[in-house]
Amino acid sequence: MRRSAFAVVSLVLMAAAALAVAQDEHQAAAAISWDNWRAAKAMAEKSDNEGKLVEALQYYLEYTRQAEGLGNQELVAWGKNNAAYMIIKRHKTDPSVDLAPARKLLEEGMAIEAAAADCKRALAMNKEYVDLFLKK
């Protein structure tokens, strides 16, 4: 009886330790920093270059989250534009891809006053593409 109780307690302690490690890893991944922003940007560009558009989209969304956390609205606008563009690129190869999320990202990006002029142009061009396929 003692061995089975000891085994149960050991398993519970190991599970608790594993959960603590997983939570620490999640918190580290969720941390806001310029290093994390740069890493998300690099991985987004790498994934895009490799044609892994869904993966690139996820990294651009993390890029945007990092920029928001850093308080850099110009980069937030670029992140939303780039994430939307990954959806557009997928749509160009698969017309069944829903463009509504791209529209939402682009509208949010266009609403950012701190967006640079070239970013605003890119947002507008991408929105024109989306509007061709979605009813207003």
pLDDT digits 0-9 by tens, 17-47? 656 665 655 555 579 999 999 999 999 999 9
pLDDT in tens, 40-83: 999 999 999 999 999 999 999 999 999 999 999 999 999 999 99
Distance from first CA to last CA of the chain, Å, rounded?
69
Q: What is the pTM of this model?
A: 0.78
Asked whether residue 121 carries a pLDDT value surpassing 90, the answer given is yes
Count the Cβ atoms, other than its own, within 10 Å of residue 129.
Answer: 17
**From CA 35, how far away is CA 17, in angstroms rounded?**
28
